[in-house]
Structure 1
Amino acid sequence: MPDPVPPPLPLVLHRFTHGRSTRASAVVFAVVALVVLCAGPATFATAAPVSDDTTGTTDTDGTGGFLRLTIDEITPSIVTSGGGADVTVSGSVRNVGDRDLEDLSIRLERGDAISDANELRSSLAVTPVPVSAATAFRPVTDALAPGESDDFSITTQLSATDGLNIQRTGVFPLNVNVNGVPDYGNAAKLAQSRTLLPVLSLPPNATRADQYVDPSTDVDDANIDSDLGSDGSVSANLSSPAQLTMLWPLAAPPQLTPGVLGGSTEPVRLVGEEMARSLSDGGRLHTLLDAARSVAGSSAGARSAPASDTTSPTPSVAEPAEPEPSAPGAAPPSASGEAAPPEGAASPDAPSRLAQSMCLAVDPDLLVTVRAMSLGYAVSSDPMDPTSPTTPGTGQPAALQWLTELRDVASRMCVVALPFAQADLTSLSRINDSGLTDAALAGPADVVDAVLGVRSVRGITVPALGAIDNTGADVLASASVGAAVTSASSVDAERADPTGRYRVGDLAVQTSEAPLTAALAGLGDTPTTPPLTPADQEVSFDGESGTARRQAAVAAVAYPAIDAPTQPDPADLPTAGRSEFVMPPTYWSPTADDTDALFTTATLLLESGAATPSPLADVRGALDATTTTARLTQPPGSRPLAELGMAVSDDVAAQIDDEAELSFQLQASLMSSADVAATPERYVAPLREDLLRAIRTPDTASAALRAEARGQRAARITAVDATLQRMRNSVTLLDPGGRYTLASERSPLLLVVRNDLSLPIRVRINVDAPPELDVGDLGVIEIPARGTRQIQLPTRAETSEEAITVTIGLTTSSGISVGSPIFLSVHANAYGKPLFWVTIAAGVALVLLVARRLWHRFRGQPDPADEDRPDPNEHDRLLAGATYQERRRNLQTEHPGHEHHDVSADETDDHQEPTTTSSSDGDRP
């Protein structure tokens, strides 16, 4: 059979390094050009190096800290049939000890091809280093004094017996070993650097060509190697492409100072300027977003409009113009004509295969923080004290720019929300607060959609720990989440599913490989080890350079695509099947060179046919139809997930539950105000978000960082409790003090209620008084925001004998006591029931007496009450029948010289003609 002819070189290459350096673009172009060569044997140009790196570390497997070995470049980073037949490793060595070093020599060593995903890490951790093939030692330098350094470059053949002797595809452990003789010592290994070399296909080789069997000859098919070409090249196994889904996490540890109320009612406080540095040029989040933008392409090809202006004080909740839930599938390539874009090439109408595979995994806590920063913020001198002095923040422009760019990228890529602040599932189970659980698992999608103006993929949770157990599955079910991503090591299935998807009870799970996640955690200047990593897979980063760690990550990404089964028998498949669900650590920190290398590798796999894009939205839809059953189990070699996730104790869980419930009840009693933009939910929700930040999953197995996380947890819970108590104390009754006297038995009690909160609140007045004082109930009353209201309590006192002690307190309409109760000594001017009965008796007696007199009068009988009166004489009768003037003259006659002044008479005379009378006028005219 003639050699297969490679397909024509694509005329249009996907530009996924938009905005990057020319060097990175050249790398991408060269590697993508190799894509078409991987399906069959050929002899084209080699791939360009991934990047260079000048970071080195001291070896810990030699005689001591004598030598620092730095790997600058490994060429090729992934072996293909279109590349050369050699592997070159270059770098430098530096004497970091206090002795001279002599006769330095170097060689390359190869181990056996790894057989499962766990060996992606365990092969780099095992000691001593297993060696299956090695080159001869080659001199580096005769002598190296303390502080001196020297460069090296070693090249060896891939398939030669005196080289690496690689004859098949796979991923191989690669060790760079430096020997030498220190002063006062013997020859020994002074330094080493361990990494992985992925081999997707092999270039031509004369020795292998002799083993080629033409399939057209009459030879038993069992003896035919279908991957071997007539020129001795070995093609990639494309019989079962890996289904590639790559999440791109955008998250950061909590940065908002706890205990600050929301809705722009209080200044935004951050614990430091770490977030500002991360968002600025060269920062971690800036690098991650810049890399994602290079995949999404320019905004000219956007399929939906960017979100609204970031300066709006509230996130836009207007319905966006149909944002895509996931990257849409690429249009079918043209079957003829060179003018048609090749399959997978970027175009204004179809994203690249890499863009289809990727999905931004965004932490809503990050969006909340960055958006708050974009509106202005301050930095607290005490990170956990919301009342400490502050200094103005400097990251507002960077936050505004980053959020604007994220909205643009998100409008053209798949987006999925991570759990809020990476809340731990076991902790949520122990807290057992439905509102808090919904805020952690169901609410994040709404936050992401509102801030970014997109429609995110819903109904699937990506736990920060990378795995779930039965407790976590129950929590997801309580939040109505029907699907999740979990480590393949946490799933026990009777038979492997090629898609890596299983049904565990009511929950559907997509499996991923934890060793791949661990390899990605090793990227960047601050490599970490995820908590889920077993002890036999913990790689020491002290002995590896940045380039070596990057090379190991590239090999880990390539492994699922390279490790295709010869026969598609489910029995031969791992739990993850042929799925390659790439789930980097939440807080990972790759450099720009790292992201370039990852995208180069993923593009090579997709364009060669070793992998196919599997958009997250398609994965989510397929999970609903999953029928292969499995059960959740503890990952082998790992501690229980509750311990790895640093779950809260029962006491702490009860405290968090109480605080969350109190926040909901206070929120229920608050009311919106036309003077304040904040709603009750936006006003109180930051406190519950602080509680979720307190239970975040640790991103590393480091004991020191986990201890720090515990301290932050306690501080956040304390700060939230202090703010809740401050809210309760902000609504008070003003104590009039002293003795309170009621003017009458029905006089009201006058009280003043004060509200220092930024929103109106509804309260009830509770009175505890003895039976002698009846106080009416006014029901629920509203107290204005930052104001007072005078209240008149209707009362009725039944005694005035002594002072009455009355206790008056406030509770919200939801039943939460607020403020401090006041104690009044009340005195009423009332006689109570005795006075009532006396009045009734007097009234009855009066009625009887009146009735008696009327009775006698109607019968014409004299009233016996008048029998003891004397009869009137003549003078009394005369006076009784005389007028007033006549009675006056009679009195003057009877009492001459006595002046009787009658005011009424004077007033009467003022209306009559004035008359003058003498004192001797005693007779009538």
Structure 2
Amino acid sequence: MSLRKLLCTAAVAAFLVTVTPPAGAVEQSQPDEIDALPFMPAPATQVWATRSLSAQPGQQAPQFLRLDIARLTPRFVTSDSPGTVTITGSIVNVGDRKVSDIVLRLERGESLDTEDDLRKALREPAAAEAVQPKFTPIAGSLEPGQQKDFTLDVPLRGTDPTSLQVDQPGIYPILANVNGRPDYGGQARLAALSTLLPVLGVPGGETKGKPGAVAKLTVLWPIADKPRLVRLGGPGQSELVDDELTTSLSVNGRLYGLLQAYEQAITSMSTGMCLAIDPDLLRTVQAMSTGYSVRGGAEGRGEVEAKLWLDRLKLAVAGRCVVALPYADADLVALNRAKLGTMRSLAVTDGPKLIKDVLGVQPLPDLVWPEDGVLDQSTFDELVTPQPDKRYTGVKSVLLDPSGVADAPGTAPVVIGGQHPVTAVKIDSMVSDALQGSDSRPRTLSGVTSPVESQPVSVQNALAVLVFRAGWQGDGRNVLVTPPRRWNAPLSEMTEFLAAAQKLVGSGYAAQTGLEELTESTPSVTNAKVAYPAEAGAREISTVISDSVTNQSVQLNGLVAAMQQEDSEHAAPADLADPLWLGLLRAMSGAWRSNEQGARSAADISQGEINGLTGMVGVTQPNSPILLGSGDSPIPVTITNKLDVRVTVRIALADTPGIRKLDLADQVLPARGERVVRVPVEVLRSGRFPVNVRLTTPEGVALGDSVKLEVSSSAYGTITVIVTVIAGIALVLLSGRRIYKRVRARNGENGGAPSIENVTPEKSSA
């Protein structure tokens, strides 16, 4: 076939694809005709009929419409629920061309009866083609950028053309399916949202019977944020990276919503709820409540909001269950890999003390909930092993994801054996993961999306899984629910989920179980092992960041070793160093997983704070050049210590041609003191010398900046004098030897006769 024929054939094919509606698509009709003639469903896998000419096979089809669901009611169907499902939202034209004949319907699939079916539905939207009701027209057309709000009422049961025909309890996949006709294309699905609808009882129909052994429900509610504290100080002296916490702590903010949802649920879930608090967030909010500034010099705006939120938190946790997260939610495995054992211990010991001091409540002791609920064997061994000095007694219980525990069937707590046995309480990963939403999941080629964490109906899938656990499994399992550490769901979604939990407890499908009861139980399985999934390692803080933090820890250790407390009225070295250790933990926070830039920024901040401390000790620049009176005159160097502790320093002179530094003992600088130290040197020649001087600790940690001294000397040094004397003696000896040789040479020429100069002339005769 010739090239011209190939091109013609391709052009005809492209024209047919563009103008011909795909199989199964509906013919265009006016809105008033839609009610009389229902739209036929577009196939579940069908996308817009035409693709961009530049699109390659396998690429995502262009998007034209976006479906935003603002409300779905009821979220959890019981026998006393309304007989209809109502969805409210909007359809937005996000494409580059007009879309006509926009219609919507709610479809459903077959009930998901097994845990495997549910897990598959959480990974990928389940098929919802068992019942495909009549489409309802939404808009005749939408131009690019236009939006159309809608409310759709769908009967749960019955023979209505739009009914979901739900006759029995179950966990049903439902699909909000939007069809439309883009310009230059055919009718097809252009947007869809898939989720799960739990039906525990059909209104006017059957209700799911209560299980023989009810689920044991525990909720661990996280109060955490990414690290924001730069420097902790007195009233008005603390500094934060930014002022975003002000918004989060204010009405309608994220942290405000988390606390409000907890307050609303605690009255009826007092046993089964526990707060997991990041101590670093608590310290930051406490600092904000006394006044603070934002990096760059701006005054913080959230003093009032911080104080109100902190007061409410104190009231809410009084006498309640509290768990301390690792300080700054530090990545314990990454700390262990970097061999930062002291920091790892600090991460799990400093938090409980702070929570008790600030909130007046004792967290559950010796308990760790690591990032992602997993630990590698080495980190686990380090965490559970007490230190010989008894300052660290070791972890006694851990909260782990089921993937982090091996040889441990079931949902009950187990013992991880070894020299120091530990109780492992397993998290319900299916419920907890569903609360994460689908932010990280790509849009499928069929245009179907799942609920997103920060949007309405984001907890719907998790709510359905929770109902399945309580209503269908009936094996008395433990259900420990742990929302994401920095959960960003709207307040309405948080309260919706907790309301469903309360309803399950109140109706007898679940029973509250305290977290302390789980950690103190006597497990029947005592030979479980720690497991560390390969994918967990990929999510750790990167080695680039951990190497930076390791270098900073070496620097800080060297500085601390050079400090001594002056007296009881002055600061102790720990008073200055401990805030910097906590700053290093912020750089290793699990909040920076998948956020390399955030981790780098935190590491830069901690390095800047260490540099600020070392910069308080250094050499003072003299006002004029230094003139040395002799070759062995010492160089006077003024050293200053602005810290409130005594510091041992070493004076380091850079190699300078013409000057040799002699040995000098380490110097002890008093707290907030200054000394002039005469540094012994050997001047090898006269002239002017630029001498670079700086201080270090005995371990070699640089203190302050290097200072250039201008040193002048017109005198010879001892070595120079000795060399000159030796040279003079040698010159005299060489000169005498030369004179001697010349005399001997002349005597030899006269044959031994006296020199002519010594002969008396004879008188001449007459």
Task: Give the TM-score normalised by structure 2.
Answer: 0.71
Gaps of 5+ in 2: 1-43, 49-61, 386-391, 654-659, 719-766
C-alpha offsets along residues 191-214 of structure 1, whole Å, 9 cap, x if unaligned? 322111123344553xxxxxxxxx
Q: Deviations over 1:451-480 (max 9, x none)?
A: 222211121212232333334424433572
Offset at 1:486? Answer: 1.9
Say if 1:422 and 1:697, in contact at 8 Å, map to a contact too: yes
Give 1:901's aligned residue: none
Is the aligned partner of 1:192 residue 2:192? yes
Choose which of 605, 617, 631 in structure 1 pairs with 2:529: 631
2: distance between equivalents of 1:766 and 1:182? 77
CA distance in 1, matches of 2:571, 2:177: 64
- What is the letter of the counterpart of residue 251 of structure 1? A
2:77 pairs, out of 76, 79, 102, with 79
Name the residue aligned to 1:899. Answer: none
1:255 is the counterpart of 2:228: yes
Cross-structure match for 1:130:
127
**Distance between the aligned counterparts of 1:734 and 1:139, measured in 2?**
81
- Tell me the SS of whatever aligns to 2:328: helix
Distance 1:825 1:401 in 2: 65
Q: What are the superposed Cα offsets for residues 9-31 of structure 1, whole Å, 9 maximum, x if unpaired? A: xxxxxxxxxxxxxxxxxxxxxxx
CA apart distance, 1:276: 1.4
Pick aligned residue for 1:656 from 505, 530, 549 = 549
Give the 5 Å matches for 1:423-502: 423-477=330-384, 480-493=394-407, 496-502=409-415
Give the letter for the 2:313 counterpart: L
Which moved further from structure 2: 724-733 or 442-451? Answer: 724-733
In the alignment, the residues of structure 2 paired with residue 676 and residue 160 of structure 1 have an alpha-carbon distance, to the nearest angstrom, of 85
Q: Which residue pairs with 1:411 in the alignment?
A: 318
In structure 2, distance between residues paired with 1:547 and 1:620 = 34
The answer on whether the counterparts of 2:455 and 2:489 sit within 8 Å (CA) in structure 1 is no
Unaligned runs of 5+ in 1: 1-58, 206-231, 297-345, 347-351, 382-389, 569-576, 701-705, 831-925
Q: 1:825 to 1:557 in 2, by over 3 A?
A: farther
User: Which position in structure 2 is the counterpart of 1:604?
Assistant: 503
Aligned residue identity for 1:113:
L
Match of 2:614 among 724, 728, 732: 728
- SS state at 1:443 partner: helix
Query: Aligned-pair distance for 1:74?
Result: 3.4
* 1:124 positional shift: 4.9
What is the CA-CA distance between 1:249 and the residue it aligns to?
Answer: 0.9
Q: State the distance in 2 between where 1:75 and 1:397 align.
A: 37
Q: Larger relative contact order (C-alpha < 8 A, sep ≥ 6)?
A: 1
Which secondary structure state, in structure 2, belongs to the residue aligned with residue 356 of structure 1?
A: coil
Contact 2:101 2:180 in 1 (8 A): yes
Structure 1, residues 221-268: CA drift from partner, whole Å, max 9, x if none? Answer: xxxxxxxxxxx543232x2222211111111112234xx5x5549943
Aligned residue in 1 for 2:282: 367
Aligned with 1:397: secondary structure? helix
Structure whose alpha-carbon radius of gyration is higher: 1
After superposition, the Cα gap between the structure-2 partners of 1:640 and 1:767, relative to the gap in structure 1 and judged at 3 Å, is closer
Relative distance call for 1:818 and 1:556 in structure 2 (3 A) is same
**1:661-676 superposed matches below 5 A:** 661-671=554-564
Contact 1:751–1:792 (8 Å) recurs in 2: yes
Partner of 1:558: 467
After TM superposition, give the deviation of residue 509 of structure 1 in Å. Answer: 2.0
Per-residue deviation, residues 38-74 of structure 1 (Å, max 9, x unmatched): xxxxxxxxxxxxxxxxxxxxx9974364544444443
One-letter code of the match for 2:535?
P
| Distance in 2 between residues matched to 1:199 and 1:800, nearest whole Å | 93
Residue 761 (structure 1) aligns with: 646
Counterpart of 2:86 in structure 1: which amino acid?
V
Alignment equivalent of 2:542, drawn from 647, 650, 661: 647
| CA deviations over 1:736-762 (Å, ceiling 9, x no partner) | 76356699x9x99986431123x1223
Q: Contact conserved, 1:647 with 1:695, CA < 8 A, in 2?
A: no
Q: Is the 8 A contact 1:169 1:562 kept in 2?
A: no
| Cα deviation code 1:790-833 (max 9, x no counterpart) | 5699x9x9x99999x99998555777564559999999999xxx
Residues 116-515 of structure 1 aligned to structure 2 (within 5 Å): 116=115, 119-120=117-118, 122-126=120-124, 129-131=126-128, 133-140=130-137, 143-146=140-143, 147=146, 149=148, 151-158=150-157, 164=164, 166=166, 169-180=169-180, 185-202=185-202, 205=205, 232-237=206-211, 239-257=212-230, 260=231, 262-264=232-234, 267-296=237-266, 346=267, 352=268, 354-381=269-296, 390-477=297-384, 480-493=394-407, 496-503=409-416, 505=418, 506-515=421-430
Is the 1:499–1:579 contact (alpha carbons within 8 Å) kept by the matching residues of 2? yes
User: Partner of 2:459: helix, strand, or coil?
Assistant: helix
Corresponding residue of 1:784: 671
- 1:618–1:661: structure 2 CA closer, same or farther, 3 Å change rule? farther
| TM-fit CA distance, 1:285 | 0.9
Q: Are 1:696 and 2:695 matched, yes or no?
A: no
Select which of 612, 619, 626 maps to 1:738.
Answer: 626
CA distance in 2 between counterparts of 1:456 and 1:355 reads 16
Distance 1:660 1:676, change over 3 A: farther
The Cα shift of 1:551 comes to 2.3
Partners of 1:508 and 1:626 within 8 A in 2: no
Q: How does 1:903-922 map to 2 (within 5 A)?
A: none
| Residue of 685, 699, 717 corresponding to 2:603 | 717
Give the superposed CA RMSD: 4.6
Which moved further from structure 2: 748-757 or 190-199?
748-757
Aligned twin of 1:102: 101
Give the direction of change, closer, same or farther, for the CA distance of 1:726–1:60 in structure 2 (3 Å limit).
farther
Cα distance between partner residues in 1 of 2:245 and 2:453: 28
1:529-564 superposed Cα distances (whole Å, 9 cap, x missing partner): 49xx9x99x994589994432322322333322232
Match of 1:588 in 2: 487
Give the superposition deviation at 1:665: 3.6
CA drift at 1:519:
2.2
In structure 1, what residue type is equivalent to 2:210?
A: A
Whether the aligned pair in 1 keeps the contact of 2:293 and 2:300 (CA below 8 Å) is yes
Select the residue among 669, 685, 689 that pairs with 2:578.
685
Deviation at 1:135?
4.8
Quickly say closer, same or farther: Cα 1:825–1:90, change in 2 above 3 A. closer
Give the residue type in structure 2 aligned to 1:272: D
SS at match of 1:521: coil
1:687-710 deviations in Å (ceiling 9; x for gaps): 22232222222477xxxxx3xx32
Cα distance in 1 for partners of 2:189, 2:683 equals 102
- What letter matches 1:647 in structure 2? S
| Distance in 1 of aligned mates of 2:235 and 2:292 | 13
User: Is the Cα–Cα contact under 8 Å of residues 587 and 699 in structure 1 kept in the other structure?
Assistant: no
Q: Post-superposition shift, 1:366?
A: 0.8
**TM-score of the superposition, structure 1-length normalised?**
0.60
Whole-Å Cα distance in 2 between the matches of residues 266 and 741 of structure 1?
A: 52
Correspondences of 1:821-840 after superposition (within 5 Å): none
What's the offset of the Cα at 1:603? 0.6
In 2 relative to 1, CA 150–291 (structure 1 residues): closer, same or farther, beyond 3 Å? closer
